[in-house]
Each structure stands twice: as structure tokens, then as C-alpha cells.
Structure 1
Amino acid sequence: MKNVLGVLLFAGLFFACKETVKDPVNESPATEQTESAAPEVTYVPFGDTITTDHADAIEKISRTYHNLTVGDSLNIKMTAKVNSVCQAKGCWMKLDLGNEEEVMVKFKDYAFFVPKNISGKDVIIEGVAFVDEMSVEDQKHYAEDAGKTEAEIAEITQPKRTYSFLADGVLLVEKQ
């Protein structure tokens, strides 16, 4: 019993006397802040289940769109920033393609919608990219949904070549 108490006393003293010395020259508070300041990314899903794997950046997709002709289509997954959303129901959204161009995204089988307040947020979408020619009537309908003025809607007088996308699923990027 004496030996056990002696070993415990010695171990307690050994660990109690151990001092940790920090080197103020090599200690970097900025590194600690960078590690803890990185926000955790979560995704809010809409539509079919999709993953974040193999999503192309919008810059690559922009080049792809410019090589498509009316009637061509391509299955892709991409990441982009939302420019605008249908303010009536969230039944379509426009994504920033760069160079003041946009991609009109609709949702497969009209089966799901996105929140109306996601303009400026990033999304990952998967589905079919294609080039379409949008009629004057459709352009006016979407302009009305977007909340454009009567004067802006009246200026629409010609069919327009559009970059379109039919999304199977959407992941809304949320930072916490």
C-alpha cells in the first residue's frame, strides 16, 4: 500500500510541476483566428438530391454556353451566384453568367421552388443547359414576375436568344 501511495504522490508531483512555455515570437494569433474564423458551409437542398462533387465554376460554363446553338443541350452541374428570383412564387431564378449575361433557370416538372430572398447567394445546380429563343410574350411574363415597371415591360419587342437551364436539383449555399 505504501508503494502505491508513493508512486501516486510522485506522479502527481511530476505532472503538477511540468510547465508549458510558449514562445511569443513563433506564436501567431492570426493563424488561430484564421482557423476558427472560417465559416462552416452547409447546403439547403431543393428538388432532387444532388451532391457538391464535380460542380463546374460558372466561368467554364459560360464558355460552354457560348459554343451551344439553339436546340443544343448538355447535362451539367455548376456553381453560380443568384441575380434574381421570381417574386411571385420562386418558380425561376436567374444566375450570373458574367459579362452582364444571365442563365434563366427553371425547375424540372415545376416540382419545386426556391426562396424568393436568395438574390446574391451562391447555388449549385444540376440539370440540362441549353440555348433557347424566348418569345416576346414569355419575356414580358418573366419581366412582370421579376417586378419590372410597365415602361420596362413595354420596351420588350423582339424575341431574344437566352441561356437556359432546367434544374433537377438545387443546393443553396449557407455559411454559418
Structure 2
Amino acid sequence: MIFMVFSACVAQNKPSVPTKAALINGSNDYFGTQFDDSDAISSGEMLGNYETMSKKDTLASRFSGLVTEVCKAKGCWMKLELGNGEVSMVRFKDYAFFVPQELEGKEVIVNGLAYVEEMSIRDQRHFARDGGKSEEEIAALTKVEKKYAFEADGVLIKK
């Protein structure tokens, strides 16, 4: 019995990372899905929402925040300041897009789902490496922690 396997070469649609020039000249305001940002809440209001959520809750949300950190490997996640020393770890739905690493210090609006998670030590260390943390900082991560998380289907860079 002879089996024949045929396959087609198909270009893979991998997320692209915008260039620094694209970020500066404003040609890429949105990453992912475009959305109406008129009802976006502040990061402080979002912190209040997170504080009332349990691990099983999700909340469709749209909020603005200051980017405090971006994945140094390829822009596949970012952290947004919420206030009171808290941050939201933002990942991108279906790994469909990345954001520029130069986004740190800029104000953005994210659209998607907020949730609370317990992040494993392994995952914390992975994200710390991606964020460019030192080996000492990575080694100091020794317990599972409650984290405020967000799955964004769209990001708008505020001008």
C-alpha cells in the first residue's frame, strides 16, 4: 500500500512588529482591532474594577493607561500602570499582533477582557526574562502571585 501526502506551501501570517519610525510618524495608531475609545475608563477606575473581581471573573473593558514595560523579545506583551503600585499584564488575543518596544512611557487605550489570575513562578520568570530583568531579579521570584491581567484585541496609541 502506498500513501501519498501532498502539502501546499502557504505563507504564514505571523504578527509583525511595527518599526520605531511607524510609531513616531503616527502611521500605526491602532494595533489589532480598531474600536471606539469614547467610553474608555481611566486606569484608576480599572484598578477599582480589578479589586472587586475574583479569579473566575472576566470583564469586557476598555481603559487607558501608561505603558510601564514591553516585552523586549518582540513586543508580545506589555504592562499598564493602574495606580497604587499595581499594573495590568496585557497580552494580545490569539497572539495576533505585537506592539512596538518603544511604547514604554506612552499612554494607550486597550480593548478586551480583564481578568485576575494566579501566575506561576515559571511564568513570572519567563516574563521577567522577556522584560530584560537581571538574573538576581528573576531568582527573587519564588511564589505564585495574584496578577491583574488583560487580553486585548486592540490597542490605540493616544496622541
Normalised by the size of structure 1, how large is the TM-score? 0.74
RMSD in angstroms over aligned alpha carbons? 1.4
* Structure 2 partner of 1:146: 131
Tell me the number of residue pairs that the alignment of Structure 1 and Structure 2 aligns. 134
Deviation, structure 1 residue 50: 1.1
Deviation, structure 1 residue 171: 0.2
- Aligned equivalent of 1:96, options 74, 81, 102: 81
Which amino acid letter does the alignment assign opposite residue 100 of structure 2?
P
**Bigger Cα Rg:** 1
* Structure 1 partner of 2:31: 46
User: 1:142 and 1:94, CA in 2 relative to 1: closer, same or farther beyond 3 A?
Assistant: same
Which amino acid letter does the alignment assign opposite residue 119 of structure 2?
M
Alignment of 1:1-176 (within 5 A): 44-174=29-159
Aligned partners of 1:42, 1:120: CA distance in 2, in Å?
19
SS in 1 for 2:102: coil
SS in 1 for 2:99: coil
SS in 1 for 2:143: coil
Deviation, structure 1 residue 109: 0.2
Give me the identity figure in percent: 46
**Between Structure 1 and Structure 2, which shows a larger proportion of helix residues?**
1
Query: Would you say the 8 A contact 1:42–1:173 is kept in 2?
Result: no
Normalised by the size of structure 2, how large is the TM-score? 0.81
Deviation, structure 1 residue 42: 9.2
| Structure 2 residue ranges without an equivalent (≥5) | 1-25
Q: Deviations over 1:129-148 (max 9, x none)?
A: 00000000000000000000
Which amino acid letter does the alignment assign opposite residue 33 of structure 2?
D
User: 1:42 and 1:111, CA in 2 relative to 1: closer, same or farther beyond 3 A?
Assistant: closer
Deviation, structure 1 residue 54: 0.5
Aligned partners of 1:173, 1:106: CA distance in 2, in Å?
19
Which amino acid letter does the alignment assign opposite residue 142 of structure 1?
F
Query: Would you say the 8 A contact 1:89–1:116 is kept in 2?
Result: yes
| Structure 1 residue ranges without an equivalent (≥5) | 1-40
